[in-house]
């Protein structure tokens, strides 16, 4: 089991107390092997979740740019049946999305029973980028923490298990990853000049994240702060948490049809 002393937070959250470089006693190779073993477990559990059809799982991924959201999704779901996983990436809202309440586009994408839904960014953008850039009045975004909690409680009470991960990288690590993107033409598409503007607002984002982690960390929808400077440790923590959560659900295969014991398949 990966040691996870950094999660989940309780009470006041100061992100400076959480080391993005933390990796417990783990070394890269051992962690990679463990992730491979867990991948097999995840594949079996996902198949059972799908067959059972009574529970849904929602994974929310949030991070600063280059924080590893895409890489985490690739790593965690390699080897899992694509039929049972639905990934949604939330971008700047379209005009249609903006003309509804902020949860409208989110609610439409939550996983149905039997499915694992993955949000690459989420409704939390509406209290992160929206807050930092003042895209709506403070009186509007302030209310959203409660609105989000109630929304997530509704999902939980409707059979959805919610796991939220904040992939925590340092500002130095982001610089390194941006430089890698600039140095590799195959990664240029991942870089936008706007990312530099967001980087300038780093401290404001950290304050906004701290509020999210503090106000929206509920037993029915816990936040996990994942030390994410080392990609292999990040993958290990997310994988362990997911497999443990799925393993804790009362999953069972549906009962066989009556009479199946005596069936002989004709030639
Ligand atoms: P990327 O993840 O690089 O594809 O970028 C998606 C962009 O969409 C990011 O700059 C987000 O800040 C932005 N975004 C996502 N959700 C919202 C939202 N609700 N309001 C404004 N911008 C958003
Ligand atoms: Mg980006």
Q: Which domains does the chain have, with CATH numbers?
A: 15-247 (3.40.50.300)
Alpha-carbon distances, residue 119 vs 18, 61, 150, 163 (angstroms): 23, 6, 18, 10
Number of neighbouring beta carbons within 10 Å of residue 70? 15
49 and 114 in contact (C-beta within 8 Å)? Answer: yes
Instruction: Report the pLDDT value the prediction gives residue 4, as an integer from 0 to 100.
Output: 56
Instruction: Report the pLDDT value the prediction gives residue 205, as an integer from 0 to 100.
Output: 98
Higher model confidence: residue 7 or residue 148? Answer: 148
Query: pLDDT, tens digit, for every residue of 68-91?
Result: 999 999 999 998 999 999 999 999
Residue 25 is encoded by which pair of tokens? 């006693």
Instruction: Report the pLDDT value the prediction gives residue 14, as an integer from 0 to 100.
Output: 93
Q: Please indicate whether residue 220, judged by its CB atom, sits closer than 6 Å to ligand 1.
A: no
Long-range contacts of 242-250 (CB under 8 A, 24+ apart): 242/42, 242/57, 242/59, 242/76, 242/163, 243/38, 243/41, 243/42, 243/45, 245/57, 245/161, 245/163, 246/42, 246/45, 246/46, 246/49, 246/57, 247/41, 247/45, 249/49, 249/55, 249/161
Instruction: Report the pLDDT value the prediction gives residue 11, as an integer from 0 to 100.
Output: 76
Listed residue (81, 72, 85) closest to 117, CA to CA: 85
Listed residue (245, 228, 236) closest to 62, CA to CA: 228
Instruction: Report the pLDDT value the prediction gives residue 115, as an integer from 0 to 100.
Output: 98
The residue-averaged pLDDT of 194-214 equals 97
**CA quadruple 225, 62, 204, 97: dihedral sign:** negative
% pLDDT > 70, the chain: 96
Which backbone phi and psi does 143 adopt, to 5 degrees?
-75, -15
DSSP state of 82: G
Query: pLDDT, tens digit, for every residue of 125-178?
Result: 999 999 999 999 999 999 999 999 999 999 999 999 999 999 999 999 999 999
Q: Which residue has the tokens 């409680």?
A: 153
Q: Please indicate whether residue 130, judged by its CB atom, sits closer than 6 Å to ligand 1.
A: yes
Residues, CB within 5 angstroms of ligand 2 (ion): 65
Q: Please indicate whether residue 191, judged by its CB atom, sits closer than 6 Å to ligand 1.
A: no
126 and 102 in contact (C-beta within 8 Å)? Answer: yes
The residue-averaged pLDDT of 94-102 equals 98
The atom of ligand 1 lying closest to the CA of 195 is: 10
Pairing of strands 116-120, 223-227: unpaired
Instruction: Report the pLDDT value the prediction gives residue 9, as an integer from 0 to 100.
Output: 59
Q: Which residues pair with 58 in a beta bridge?
A: 117, 162
The residue-averaged pLDDT of 32-58 equals 98
The atom of ligand 1 lying closest to the CA of 102 is: 19
252 and 194 in contact (C-beta within 8 Å)? Answer: no
Instruction: Report the pLDDT value the prediction gives residue 179, as an integer from 0 to 100.
Output: 98
The residue-averaged pLDDT of 231-241 equals 97
pLDDT at 257 over 60: yes
Instruction: Report the pLDDT value the prediction gives residue 6, as an integer from 0 to 100.
Output: 52
Listed residue (197, 115, 113, 128) closest to 159, CA to CA: 113
pLDDT at 3 over 60: no
pLDDT at 34 over 90: yes
Task: Identify the band that residue 42 occupies on the pLDDT scale cut at 50, 70 and 90.
Answer: very high
Q: Please indicate whether residue 91, judged by its CB atom, sits closer than 6 Å to ligand 1.
A: yes
Mutate to test the pocket of ligand 1, among 93, 103, 125 (most ligand atoms within 8 A of CB): 125
191 CA distance to ligand 2 centroid (A)? 6
Ligand 1, atom 1, lies closest to the CA of 91
Instruction: Report the pLDDT value the prediction gives residue 12, as an integer from 0 to 100.
Output: 87
The atom of ligand 1 lying closest to the CA of 126 is: 19
Q: Please indicate whether residue 189, judged by its CB atom, sits closer than 6 Å to ligand 1.
A: no
Is the bond preceding 237 in cis, omega lying within 30 degrees of 0?
A: no
């Amino acid at each position: 089991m990966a040691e996870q002393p950094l999660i989940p937070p309780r009470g006041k959250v100061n992100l400076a107390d959480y080391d993005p470089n933390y990796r417990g006693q783990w070394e890269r190779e051992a962690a990679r092997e463990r992730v491979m073993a867990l991948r097999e477990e995840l594949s079996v559990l996902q198949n059972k979740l799908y067959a059972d059809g009574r529970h849904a799982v929602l994974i929310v991924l949030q991070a600063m740019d280059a924080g590893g959201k895409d890489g985490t999704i690739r790593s965690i779901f390699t080897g899992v049946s694509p039929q049972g996983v639905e990934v949604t990436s939330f971008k700047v809202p379209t005009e249609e999305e903006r003309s509804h309440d902020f949860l409208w586009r989110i609610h439409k994408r939550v996983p149905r029973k039997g499915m694992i839904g993955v949000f690459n960014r989420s409704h939390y953008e509406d209290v992160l980028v929206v807050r930092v850039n003042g895209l709506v009045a403070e009186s509007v975004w302030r209310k959203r923490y409660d609105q989000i909690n109630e929304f997530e409680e509704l999902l939980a009470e409707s059979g959805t298990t919610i796991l939220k991960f904040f992939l925590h990288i340092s500002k130095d690590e982001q610089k390194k990853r941006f430089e890698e993107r600039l140095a590799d033409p195959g990664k240029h598409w991942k870089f936008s000049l706007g990312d530099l503007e967001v980087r300038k607002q780093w401290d404001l984002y950290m304050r906004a994240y701290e509020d999210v982690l503090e106000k929206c960390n509920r037993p029915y929808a816990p936040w996990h702060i994942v030390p994410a400077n080392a990609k292999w440790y990040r993958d290990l923590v997310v994988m362990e948490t997911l497999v443990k959560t799925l393993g804790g659900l009362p999953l069972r295969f549906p009962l066989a049809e009556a009479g199946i014991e005596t069936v002989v398949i004709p030639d």
